[in-house]
């Protein structure tokens, strides 16, 4: 029994030591690879961006705070200033709004299948409305009454 325990202890120690050395070698190689890349990758712009249009050129990881289906007919579009997307989009606020509206006689017939919520800093929202759009690299979102991606009054 004692010899079996000694054998298992020695074997497990060797396996653990070998695994730790392999992991530290891999981590060292990964750190070297990460440190070699010093400049950000900027995707080339293929489209002509309209003059004056707010553009997020070169920001490949920029995501606007927008909830809803842009391009589908909107039921309600809310543009609001600030960084409170998670609060407004919760089940307690925008999630509960359709059922609340259905319970009110004056709003009972409203189609609320596509509520679009946009929360961005105020200067960006104002510029989007004034210029009629926002560009995300090669994608331009039309911000107009015709497109439907426009704040409801």
Mean pLDDT of all residues in 5-34: 53
pLDDT band at 15 (very low <50, low <70, confident <90, very high): very low
What's the per-residue H, E or C state across 54-79?
EECCCCCCCCCCEECCECECCCEEEE
Mean pLDDT of all residues in 116-140: 87
Whether the CB-CB separation of 117 and 64 falls below 8 Å is answered with no
Taking all residues of the chain, what is their mean pLDDT, rounded to a whole number?
A: 76
Distance, CA of 20 to CA of 17 (rounded, Å): 5
The answer, as to whether pTM is greater than 0.85, is: no
> For residues 133, 134, 135 and 140, what is the CA-based torsion angle, rounded to 10 degrees?
-40
The ranges assigned to domains in the chain are 1-38, 54-142
The residue ranking higher by pLDDT, 47 or 5, is 47
Tokens coding 54: 């707010």
Mean pLDDT of all residues in 23-32: 55
Mean pLDDT of all residues in 48-76: 76
Tokens coding 49: 């961006």
Question: 113-123 b/e with 16+ CB inside 10 Å = b?
Answer: ebbbbbbbeee
Nearest-5° Cα angle at 108, 106 to 112: 120
Helices (H), 69-121: 85-88, 97-103
Highest mean pLDDT among 11-15, 34-38, 94-98: 94-98
Q: For residue range 68-97, what is the model confidence (pLDDT) as tens digits?
A: 898 888 988 999 887 778 888 889 988 899
Whether the CB-CB separation of 25 and 107 falls below 8 Å is answered with no
């Amino acid at each position: 029994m004692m010899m079996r325990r000694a054998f298992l202890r020695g074997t497990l120690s060797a396996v653990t030591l070998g695994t730790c050395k392999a992991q530290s070698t891999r981590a060292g190689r990964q750190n070297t690879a990460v440190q070699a890349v010093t400049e950000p990758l900027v995707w080339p712009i293929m489209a002509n961006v309209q003059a004056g249009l707010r553009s997020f050129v070169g920001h490949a990881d920029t995501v606007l705070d927008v909830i809803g289906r842009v391009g589908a007919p909107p039921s309600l579009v809310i543009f609001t200033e600030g960084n409170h997307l998670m609060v407004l989009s919760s089940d307690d606020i925008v999630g509960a709004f359709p059922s609340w509206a259905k319970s009110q006689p004056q709003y009972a017939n409203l189609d609320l299948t596509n509520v679009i919520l946009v929360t961005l800093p105020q200067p960006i929202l104002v510029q989007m409305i004034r210029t009629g759009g926002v560009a995300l690299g090669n994608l331009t979102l039309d911000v107009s009454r015709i497109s439907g991606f426009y704040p409801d009054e």
